[in-house]
Amino acid sequence: MAKTPKTYHVKSFGCQMNVYDGERMSELMAEQGLSAAASAEEADLVVLNTCHIREKATEKVYSDIGRLRKGGRKPMIAVAGCVAQAEGEEIVRRAQVDVVVGPQAYHNLPKLVADAAGGKAALDTDMPLASKFGALPARRRVAPGAFLTVQEGCDKFCTYCVVPYTRGAEVSRPFAAIVDEARALVDAGAREITLLGQNVNAWADEDGRGLDALIRDLDRIEGLARIRYTTSHPNDMTQRLIDAHRDVEKLMPYLHLPVQSGNDRVLKAMNRSHSRDSYLRILDRVREARPDIALSGDFIVGFPGETDAEFEDTLRLVDEVRYSQAFSFKYSPRPGTPAAEMDGAVPRGVMDERLQRLQAALNRDQAAFNEATVGKTCDVLIERRGKHPGQMLGKSPWLQSVHLATDAQIGDMVTVDIERAGPNSLAGVERVKAAA
């Protein structure tokens, strides 16, 4: 029987929403009187906050469980997140973990841990109607760049994706609850807030307000310097939201708008419900509203049936858009999704080659985007210490990492002349303030 744990460690995989959930679970454990262990290896309770989006992510969980038990150690292990939701009891069967808790049930973690310590099976993958957020403790201390979940779940049912099954239907948190949490985050040290949702731009409330209205309201919070949001779906990119990029100074010039493929037949088979052209026209309007906007995206290569010519369409789209950065993946069949039943599996070698070619093009554009920042002056939000003494690391408005030598502290906003660019980061010098 597992003992009642005194120390905990939460390890999050996957998307930023998992990072947010991981922070909230840590706060819950701290509220229960547990203290944070220095590492997973030293903790009495390890929460693995898992991702189910691609096969590799899932397999990682099982190898992690094995590693935690090396040398005969027996920490209490809780599997949370999307693998917990998708596999449920199967995880208990396969790996004999103590707790399994889904992404909509983790407010029950204290009870589940107590049950497990008492020798009871502790599994909760319910998706209750009442939101978990009301049952979570208040935010206390956070990093300068904080996450805030405003919307969860997905009703789009892209044929490759598990999210509608693991995170459930689209649900928007109420306007007032979000604004309250944003204020609490700022009081707890946040200067930048990234609004999170699987379809964050589908956020809406009962009064018909959309994400643009929420952003305009958050803009008024004193002490909050920057607002970002992710991840968006092209079909929910309203003109009002695009206009907010023109009007709201705190809204950073950055948009992550996944397209997945540049070919209409593939987009249709993916059930994306937008075309190559409609996607590009949205970007036209976004760039019209905010000419310096940095664009990011997600891509899948080797979707079932994807031909060489169809893949070339994706490369051509990349050439046209010139992303500042992007994420690209090999298609991974997920059990229970429609695409997993489709014919036309693309051979591994072909998939590898396509991914390499796509990533070469994306890396080229990322380097060019970084290079184009050299000579500009911009605000940098200091987030952490660098490797060298006196060196700090922060983020540009376009989400690039910036290294600089400065006396500024974590959480400060400094004005920086960008002097050098690398493939993954920038370097600059702090602009000395003119004497008053």
Rounded Cα distance between 299 and 359, Å, is 10
- Quote the least distance from Cβ 36 to ligand 5AD, whole Å: 29
HSE-CB for 171 with a 13 A CA cutoff: 16
Is 328 one of the binding residues for ligand SF4 (CB under 6 A)?
no
Rounded Cα distance between 392 and 385, Å, is 4
Q: Which is nearer to ligand SF4, 8 or 329 (CB)?
A: 329
Q: Which is nearer to ligand 5AD, 88 or 333 (CB)?
A: 333
What are the residues whose beta carbons fall under 8 Å from the beta carbon of 258, sequence distance 6 or more?
231, 232, 233, 234, 297, 298, 299
Q: Which is nearer to ligand 5AD, 122 or 266 (CB)?
A: 266
- Quote the least distance from Cβ 4 to ligand SF4, whole Å: 29
3-state secondary structure of 401: strand
Q: Which of 146, 142, 137, 207 is nearest to 172 (CA)?
A: 207
Burial 61-75 (b: 16+ CB within 10 A, else e): bbebbeebeeeeeeb
Is 52 one of the binding residues for ligand SF4 (CB under 6 A)?
yes
Q: Which is nearer to ligand 5AD, 26 or 328 (CB)?
A: 328
Contact (CB, 8 A) for 182 and 222: no
Contact (CB, 8 A) for 290 and 243: no
Structure tokens at 61: 């969980």
Is 210 one of the binding residues for ligand SF4 (CB under 6 A)?
no
- Quote the least distance from Cβ 167 to ligand SF4, whole Å: 5
Q: Which is nearer to ligand SF4, 166 or 401 (CB)?
A: 166
Is 163 one of the binding residues for ligand SF4 (CB under 6 A)?
yes
Q: Which listed residue (5, 9, 10, 14) binds ligand SF4 by CB under 6 A?
A: 14
Q: Which is nearer to ligand 5AD, 53 or 315 (CB)?
A: 53
- Quote the least distance from Cβ 376 to ligand 5AD, whole Å: 30
Q: Which listed residue (81, 210, 262, 394) binds ligand SF4 by CB under 6 A?
A: 81
- Quote the least distance from Cβ 274 to ligand 5AD, whole Å: 13
What are the residues whose beta carbons fall under 8 Å from the beta carbon of 381, sequence distance 6 or more?
144, 145, 191, 192, 225, 226, 394, 395, 411, 412, 413
Q: Which listed residue (25, 34, 53, 251) binds ligand SF4 by CB under 6 A?
A: 53
Is 13 one of the binding residues for ligand 5AD (CB under 6 A)?
no
344: left (phi over 0), alpha (psi -120 to 50) or beta: left
3-state secondary structure of 30: helix
Binding to ligand SF4 in span 362-401, by CB under 6 A: none
Site string for ligand 5AD, 325-364 (x = CB under 6 A): ----x-xx-x------------------------------
Binding to ligand 5AD in span 118-177, by CB under 6 A: 160-161
Rounded Cα distance between 21 and 13, Å, is 11
Q: Count CB neighbours of 250 within 10 A.
A: 17
Q: Which listed residue (2, 10, 15, 45) binds ligand SF4 by CB under 6 A?
A: 15
Contact (CB, 8 A) for 77 and 97: yes
Phi, psi of 166, rounded to the nearest 5 degrees: -90, -35
Alpha-carbon separation of residue 380 from 44, 147, 182, 376, 398 (angstroms): 39, 18, 21, 12, 10
Residues flagged as binding site for [4Fe-4S] cluster = 15, 51, 82, 154, 158, 161
3-state secondary structure of 157: coil
DSSP state letter for 209: -
- Quote the least distance from Cβ 66 to ligand SF4, whole Å: 21
Terminal CA-CA length for the chain = 67
Is 82 one of the binding residues for ligand SF4 (CB under 6 A)?
yes
Is 18 one of the binding residues for ligand SF4 (CB under 6 A)?
yes
Is 54 one of the binding residues for ligand 5AD (CB under 6 A)?
yes
- Quote the least distance from Cβ 82 to ligand SF4, whole Å: 3
Total residues binding ligand 5AD (CB under 6 A): 12
The residues of the shown chain that bind ligand 5AD, judged by CB under 6 A, are 53-54, 160-161, 258, 260, 298, 300, 329, 331-332, 334
The residues of the shown chain that bind ligand SF4, judged by CB under 6 A, are 14-15, 17-18, 51-53, 81-82, 162-163, 166-167, 198
